[in-house]
A and B are shown apart, each in its own frame.
Chain A
Amino acid sequence: MALPSYAGPIETSWYYAFRLICACIFIFLITPILIIIPLSFNVEPYFTFTQGMLSFDADAYSLRWYEDFLSNTQWTHSVKNSFIIAIASTILATILGTLAALGLSNSNMPYRSLAMGLLISPMIVPLIISAAGMYFFYSNIGLSQTFLGIILAHTTLGTPFVVITVTATLVGFDHSLTRASANLGANPTTTFFKVMMPLILPGVISGALFAFITSFDEVVVVLFLAGFDQRTIPRQMWSGIREQISPTILAVATILVMISIALLATLELLRRRSERMRGMSPG
């Protein structure tokens, strides 16, 4: 959208005004996320820049909140819990979701849109309602305040993402490839792992990433279902914000931002790979 050479003064000023507006909106989007990174190195227990920080005094910066994060057993426990819960629920959600997506993309599937609606519902229903429902039901069957309960709950919240991403990949899938594979003597399992899987893998992985981040970032269900032993990072941040606000939260937040940058990069690589693979397959 370069400015054409025939643009008059009104068009030129509007062109730059528009760019300025866009710049402001981008600043609005990114500033809060970037601002916490320098703040997390603050030597004082404040959430704002001190005089020393602004004059780039080395003494005003420190790693004390990172040390606090690593030495505090509550935080280290929560990191461990978060990974246990997120990895377990991601594996479950990916397996169940991928299988379901394979079935859903079959045009002979009966009641397809109804099934799709039911499977997507955990994503639509507000979290507070899901959490409230699970709180009662899981307490009744003895699953509240257990790892299993939270893993199952997070699995349900993660599956819609896997179903959606894998279904989207399967839309472009050329089914004559599986017929060719069967024709050449492969049994369905071999066909699935040798022919289908490599092609739908980007969808499966990005679905798994979504499921992972959903669980890793989830706090409402954890608030209702988790006991003290199952506290996750977001749960710990929640009580950090509500009870004893200390810049340790900013240190944790900075680490989480780094993790999301890594995830974003992974997804981008997957997208490129998927496009390359699409380019290779005929039709």
Chain B
Amino acid sequence: MAVDTANNGVVLAADGRPLKESLNRALRKNRMRALMLVAPLLIFVLFAFLIPIIDMTFRSVDNWHVGTLMPKTSAALANWDGKDFPEEPVYAALVADLQAGAKSREIGKVGTRLNYEKSGLRSMITSSARKSKRLKEGPYKAKVMKMHKKWRDLETWHVIKRNAAPYTIGYYLNAMDMKYDKTGEIVMQPENRRIYGKLFGRTFAISMAITIICVVLAYPISYLLATLPLRYSNLLMIFVLLPFWTSLLVRTTAWIAMLQSQGVLNDLFVFFGLVDDANRLQLIHNLTGTIIAMTHILLPFMVLPLYSVMKTIPPTYMRAALSLGANPFVAFVRVYMPQTLSGIGAGSVLVFILSIGYYITPALVGGTGGTLISNQIAYHMQSSLNWGLAGALGAMLLASVLALYFLYNKIVGIDNMRLG
């Protein structure tokens, strides 16, 4: 290699360029190569996954219906002060919009949208749209007032004006059990209509319970697996790995076979006389079923990280504590357990993240008392078709999962994640 040091003290590489520049070029090339390797997947994930999710969360604030389908009314209401009923031009605009909407058959969407804010507005819009075809000339104010009693309610006009804006926080308010009152102030829903707060609470409580049960069950067997000689522990590991690798639906089916009232477990109870044949235990399609099945499904996710942490703890520490006079219990609590905290943390966050987003098992074995927030999202996606609310609930669930994920990243670091 021809290195020329006489050139003003600058070290040159073989091709005559300064060494520093040459090195930078090589680094840049290296960096580009790394980027090129990652780029295809990054672009793929962006389009096939991230953009759909962003698109879904956007639905939770999107509010195009009224502004787009009733443009004239929206514009006319822009200057309305809200103190008394609007003036004649607003009614003229409304009739024009209703007539146009009835013709294009799109007006029902406005009705559906407004009905989320205040029930009864869907029928008001559809019946008024039908009647509006007969209105030929003004003044319209009295005629509109006569079409449906809700037009004589000042709140209706507030709802329309509020939803003429292209974006709304209405779905989020709904998802947090809040609403606008008659004057447009944000208030809590009446006690008997608060469902989502309870549902979020229940989802967190169930996930917490499952996480705690998982820790309690995983700790002894991980300890056993970590301390047994390898040839036994590898064999016992099958008991953890086989459920881990078995299809989710298979395990859920298995639990249905086990827990239903004519199922294996109840038959056993009856056989041993623990339960009377007439009143077999209701173990499924309720909260109990959800917790048992989900604990079984998520337990391997707790055992695996706990086992890998316990495997690294030298047995000499415990022996040292014992020989220094600690009794076995104290030695275990003061010496062994603190060293397993990172494993407990990693496993707990993992199990908690997985369980708050769980859908399949609660839907199949949860009945009405054991469903979680995901089931409500699916309900609004598929049955009630209130996609904005589904988006808002989804965004809130996503936010809590991401927060927990950052916690997980702090405890374990994503690079240290091990599978299988």
Interface members, chain B 340-378 (any A CB < 8 Å):
353, 356-360, 364, 374, 377-378
| Residue contact B37 to A33, C-beta cutoff 8 Å | no
In the bound assembly, the distance between CA atoms of A120 and B35 in angstroms comes to 17
Q: How many residue pairs at the A-B interface have CB separations less than 8 Å?
A: 262
* B76: min CB distance to chain A, Å: 32
Q: Is B82 an interface residue (CB 8 A)?
A: no
| Nearest A residue to B217, CB-CB | A25
| Residue contact B357 to A99, C-beta cutoff 8 Å | no
The stretch among B95-103, B122-130, B254-262 that forms the contact with chain A is B254-262
- Knowing A21-B220, A29-B239, the reply to whether A260 touches B246 (Cβ < 8 A) is yes
Q: Is A130 an interface residue (CB 8 A)?
A: yes
In the bound assembly, the distance between CA atoms of A39 and B253 in angstroms comes to 12
CB 8 Å contact bits of A95-112 with B (1 = contact, 0 = none):
011011011101011100
In the bound assembly, the distance between CA atoms of A128 and B262 in angstroms comes to 32
| Nearest B residue to A117, CB-CB | B414
The stretch among A57-65, A67-75, A160-168, A177-185 that forms the contact with chain B is A160-168
* A202: min CB distance to chain B, Å: 11
In the bound assembly, the distance between CA atoms of A130 and B50 in angstroms comes to 9
In the bound assembly, the distance between CA atoms of A33 and B239 in angstroms comes to 10
Q: Is B272 an interface residue (CB 8 A)?
A: no
* A235: min CB distance to chain B, Å: 9
Chain B residues in 8 Å Cβ range of A250: 253, 257
On chain A, the number of residues with a Cβ less than 8 Å from chain B's Cβ atoms is 91
Interface of B is mostly: helix
CB 8 Å contact bits of B226-263 with A (1 = contact, 0 = none):
01100000001011111101111111111111101011
17 contacts between A and B (CB under 8 A): A22-B220, A30-B242, A32-B255, A100-B42, A106-B30, A106-B31, A106-B37, A108-B27, A110-B35, A126-B359, A126-B401, A129-B397, A132-B377, A217-B248, A220-B359, A237-B249, A253-B253
Interface residues, chain A, CB within 8 Å of chain B?
Answer: 1, 11, 14, 18-19, 21-22, 25-26, 28-33, 35-36, 39, 46-49, 96-97, 99-100, 102-104, 106, 108-110, 113, 115-122, 124-130, 132-138, 152-153, 155-156, 159, 161, 163-165, 167-168, 206, 210, 213, 216-217, 219-220, 224, 234, 237-238, 241-242, 245, 249-250, 253, 256-257, 260-261, 263-264, 267
